[in-house]
Structure 1
Amino acid sequence: MGLIKTILIILLFYYGFKILSRFFGPFILKYFTKKAAERFGGQFRDFNNQNQQQPKQKEGEITIDKMPDNKTSNKTVGEYVDYEEID
């Protein structure tokens, strides 16, 4: 009797979830797409504002926004091995 009861409960949850997802699925999908569109729009607005704040440059003028970090390579990493390809 316990096995039949367990199987019926599992089937009830399965079909209940299926029915509820048909009713509420479009609303949930619409909510997530709206949030994604807002996030994308916010990134686009930030990019647009950043471009407008930068002063216009003459053609051929060079500016450096950030100096790259000077990373020195370690000379004791290894040695160069000369090789030849064998056909």
Structure 2
Amino acid sequence: MKLLQVILIVLVIYVSVRLILKYYGASIIKWLGKKAMQRMSRSFEKRSGMSTDDLFNQQQGSNTNQKKVNNPKEKKTVGEYVDFEEID
């Protein structure tokens, strides 16, 4: 009896997943594509220091009147430089 219940549950889950993918598969793939593009865009912005909107505005030429604020990174001073001379 338990084996029959397990087989029936697996069969119901399989059929329901197939039906969901049949009717909503295209929209799910579109949604996943959008999310992947957003992640790639965020990682690009993080690495380049610019947002994709800034890049688009530069390409359109409408960013020429705006001042861009540069935030230089802090320079860490580790110590002072010592020049050694060789002794023969």
TM-score grouping bracket, smaller chain normalisation: 0.3 to 0.5
Q: TM-score normalised to the size of structure 1?
A: 0.47
Q: Between the two structures, name the one with larger relative contact order (CA 8 Å, sep ≥ 6).
A: 2
Larger Rg: 1
